[in-house]
């Protein structure tokens, strides 16, 4: 029988912690671990074409399943490639363990071939990052890494030299079962709860603003809104959890927000922030009293002035409030916000459905059609860029669907690799990647991973021939768009050449049939939709200087002799011009 190695022990500990896949690219220093994965039941190696994709895939698997996921990179460049995906996982609070293989332990510090120092560069994107230099050290370092990843919801990195991985396993490990599903009941103290009840009872108009921290608390939030006649707004990461079966919903705030959320947050007397680390201070009101409820105590008050910071789980806190707060009877504020919301959302939908023969195709129409045809439990992954805007506005959650993206780290090229992780984790679920043309091309190599494993991901490219979101940023800041145009291949033909079904949609009349066909096809499909590069989004409230920036950029374009461009831009965006 082969000796039991440090690598075997590493894999066994991951198995005990629920890891089922390890995403990465095999190679020298990693090989002992790769071979251990091969020899163990219950864990599979998923070969990606770029380690960054592996880290994104692991992050997606962790976000969707709530279980620990794993990725690996060989020494030097191999593990260095993981870094951007790990940043995303870490900032998305996804429990991921990364194995960074290292050069032979005897060579460390000698500027050896491929030498890098992973413990330095993974510091900022992990809660834990340690080098294993002796076999006896591995079990506890790995177990602590796992506990840090699942305990803090983030990344932990084990740095393991290839020669150490191949030594006979030394250390006994402190065997324990990881109760991954457990969640403590973290209710605020009675005194703080009482203070909160008094504030709520004293307020006439209350608005609830929800983030990811309300996951699983849909019914409690809706019940509280009903009791308080409170509009419910959300940050993008809260949308999956509260934006369905919720008659109090008023949309989203932020740069890509929509609906009446902004107004509801600004016109209330008391704003209750529930489990949200929504980053934009500029969108926070200054008039109302503000309460923030969060399980992560260190996050209280870091985005806004607080009248009360409440340390507790959002759902448990709401549950505790329900029997304690007085029922409100005045519907005036709620009704006003709901009317405003439905009016604004109605306008957004007009541009998604009234497509006429507009060419290139309205991206909103593509997103709305995907929303209509997608399965009830579909997973959507969306690229950073305009795809996130269309998905945020037009993909509707229902409690079973999930929408993930790079919503905190904001990296491009996330949708395709996240879709890989989603499909590996849920082979029978429909997974739709909404990609930008820029984003898709950035990690395009991993399109081949769909082919490699027959992963039936539906890749929909919003091919606007542009780094669209950046073009918008430039316009708003007063720069004429520069270096944002992309010369693309026919992505559908490219997919076909690679042996994957490709569908190209150029005519708006083909959108419905093309997407229907794609979703009905077994196996991977790439849909290349030529969309309007001039479809821009505007934040729900935009500042005077932004309007002036937009106007200035337009002027510059005209001065540069690109008047046609301005006319096109205006024509495409009449729908998005800021409202009074």
Residues that bind ligand TPP (CB under 6 A): 383-387, 410-412, 436-439, 462, 464, 466-470
Nearer to ligand TPP, 32 or 385 (CB): 385
Tell me if 229 sits within 8 A of 330, measured CB to CB. Answer: yes
Q: How far is the CB of 406 from ligand TPP (least distance, A)?
A: 8
Closest listed residue to residue 209, CA positions, set 304, 131, 114: 304
Starting at the edge strand found earlier in the chain, the sheet holding 431-436 runs 402-405, 379-382, 431-436, 458-463, 525-530, 501-505
Smallest distance from Mg ion to CB 463, Å: 7
Shortest Cβ 383–ligand TPP spacing (Å): 5
Rounded Cα–Cα distance for residues 206 and 221 (Å): 13
| Strand 249-252 relative to strand 525-530, pairing | unpaired
Name, in order, each residue with C-beta under 8 angstroms of 233's C-beta and a sequence gap of 6 or more: 207, 208, 209, 210, 249, 250, 251, 252, 253, 259, 260, 261, 262, 264, 265
- The Cα–Cα gap between 515 and 374 comes to 9
Structure tokens at 190: 């009675």
Between CA 292 and CA 198 the distance in angstroms is 15
539 binds Mg ion per the rule CB under 5 A: no
Give the dihedral of Cα atoms 66, 393, 263, 213; nearest 10 deg.
0
Nearer to Mg ion, 156 or 471 (CB): 471
CB of residue 467 to ligand TPP, shortest distance in Å = 4
Report the residue number, 101 or 394, with the smaller CB distance to ligand TPP. 394
Give least dist CB 389 to ligand TPP, A.
8
Transcribe 46-87 into DSSP letters. Answer: EE-SSHHHHHHHHHHHHHHH-S-EEEEE-TTHHHHTTHHHHH
CB 119 within 8 A of CB 132: no
Q: Which is nearer to ligand TPP, 326 or 477 (CB)?
A: 477
CA nearest 445: which of 406, 494, 481? 494
- Measured from the CB atom, the residue of 385 and 540 that comes closer to ligand TPP is 385
User: Is residue 464 at the binding interface for Mg ion, with CB under 5 A as the rule?
Assistant: yes
Cβ at position 117, least distance to ligand TPP in Å: 23
Using alpha carbons, select from 65, 67, 60 the residue that is nearest to residue 14. 67
> Of these, 436, 481, 502, 508, which contacts Mg ion (CB under 5 A)?
436
- Note whether 154 binds Mg ion by CB under 5 A: no
Q: Is 87 or 283 the residue whose CB approaches ligand TPP more closely?
A: 87
The closest residue (CB) to ligand TPP is 436
Q: Does 531 bind Mg ion (CB under 5 A)?
A: no
**Helical H segments across 93-207, by residue range:** 118-121, 138-152, 162-165, 190-202
Tell me the closest approach of the beta carbon of residue 438 to ligand TPP, in angstroms: 3
Q: Tokens 């071939």 appear where?
A: 113
In the complex with Mg ion, the residue whose CB is nearer, 32 or 438, is 438
Q: Choose among Mg ion, ligand TPP, none what residue 369 binds, the Cβ cut-off being 5 to 8 Å by kind.
A: none
Residue 327 burial (C-beta neighbours within 10 Å; 0-12, 13-18, 19+): exposed
**Which range touches Mg ion (CB under 5 A), out of 172-180, 240-248, 324-332, 430-438?**
430-438
Nearer to ligand TPP, 467 or 519 (CB): 467
Q: Is 468 in the site for Mg ion (CB under 5 A)?
A: yes
Q: Which stretch binds Mg ion (CB under 5 A): 367-375, 438-446, 514-522, 557-565?
A: 438-446
383 interface partner picked from ligand TPP, Mg ion, none, CB below 5 to 8 A per type:
ligand TPP
Determine, following the binding rule CB under 5 A, whether residue 437 of this chain makes contact with Mg ion: yes
Q: Could you list the residues that contact Mg ion (CB under 5 A)?
A: 436-438, 464, 466, 468
């Amino acid at each position: 029988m082969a000796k039991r190695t440090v690598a075997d022990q590493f894999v066994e500990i991951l198995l005990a912690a629920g890891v089922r896949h390890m995403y990465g690219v095999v190679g020298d220093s990693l090989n002992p671990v790769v071979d251990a994965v091969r020899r163990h039941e219950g864990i599979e190696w998923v070969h990606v074409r770029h380690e960054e994709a592996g880290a994104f895939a692991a992050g997606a698997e962790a976000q969707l399943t709530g279980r620990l996921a794993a990725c690996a990179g060989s020494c030097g460049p191999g593990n260095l490639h993981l870094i951007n995906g790990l940043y995303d996982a870490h900032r998305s609070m996804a429990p991921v363990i990364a194995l960074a293989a290292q050069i032979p332990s005897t060579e460390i510090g000698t500027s050896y071939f491929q030498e890098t120092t992973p413990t330095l560069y993974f510091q900022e994107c992990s809660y834990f990052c340690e080098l294993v230099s002796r076999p006896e050290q591995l079990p506890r370092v790995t177990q602590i890494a796992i506990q840090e990843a699942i305990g803090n919801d983030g990344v932990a990195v084990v740095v393991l030299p290839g020669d150490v991985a191949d030594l006979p396993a030394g250390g006994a490990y402190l065997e324990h079962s990881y109760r991954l599903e457990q969640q403590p009941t973290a209710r605020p103290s009675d005194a703080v709860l009482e203070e909160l009840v008094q504030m709520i009872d004293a307020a006439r108009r209350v608005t609830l603003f929800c983030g990811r921290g309300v996951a699983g608390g849909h019914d409690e939030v809706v019940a509280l809104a009903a009791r308080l006649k409170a509009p419910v707004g959300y940050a993008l990461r809260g949308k999956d959890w509260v934006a369905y079966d919720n008659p109090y919903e008023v949309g989203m705030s932020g740069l890509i927000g929509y609906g009446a959320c902004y107004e509801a947050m600004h016109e209330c007397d008391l704003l209750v922030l529930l489990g949200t680390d929504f980053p934009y201070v500029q969108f926070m009101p200054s008039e109302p009293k503000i309460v923030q409820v969060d399980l992560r105590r260190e996050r209280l008050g870091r985005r806004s002035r607080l009248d009360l910071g409440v340390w507790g789980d959002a759902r448990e806190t709401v549950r505790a409030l329900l029997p304690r707060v007085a029922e409100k009877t005045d519907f005036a504020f709620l009704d006003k916000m709901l009317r405003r919301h439905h009016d604004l959302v109605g306008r957004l939908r007009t541009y998604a459905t009234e497509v006429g023969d507009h060419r290139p195709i309205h991206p909103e129409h593509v997103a709305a059609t995907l929303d209509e045809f997608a399965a009830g439990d579909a997973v959507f992954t969306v690229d950073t860029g305009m795809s996130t805007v269309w998905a945020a506005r037009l993909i509707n959650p229902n409690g079973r669907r999930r929408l993930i993206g790079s919503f905190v780290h904001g990296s491009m090229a996330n949708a395709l690799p996240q879709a890989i992780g989603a499909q590996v984790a849920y082979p029978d679920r429909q997974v739709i990647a909404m990609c930008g043309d820029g984003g898709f091309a950035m990690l395009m190599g991993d399109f081949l991973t769909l082919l490699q494993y027959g992963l039936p991901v539906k890749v929909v490219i919003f091919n606007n021939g542009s780094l669209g979101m950046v073009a918008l940023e430039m316009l708003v800041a007063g720069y004429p768009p520069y270096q944002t145009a992309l010369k693309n291949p026919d992505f559908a033909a490219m997919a076909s050449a690679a042996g994957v079904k490709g569908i190209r949609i150029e005519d708006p009349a083909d959108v419905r049939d093309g997407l229907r066909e794609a979703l009905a096809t077994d196996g991977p499909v790439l849909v290349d939709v030529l969309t309007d590069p001039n479809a821009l989004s505007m934040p729900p409230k935009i500042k005077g200087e932004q309007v002036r920036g937009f106007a200035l950029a337009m002027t510059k374009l005209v001065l540069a002799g690109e008047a046609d461009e301005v006319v096109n831009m205006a024509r495409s965006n009449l729908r998005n011009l800021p409202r009074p």
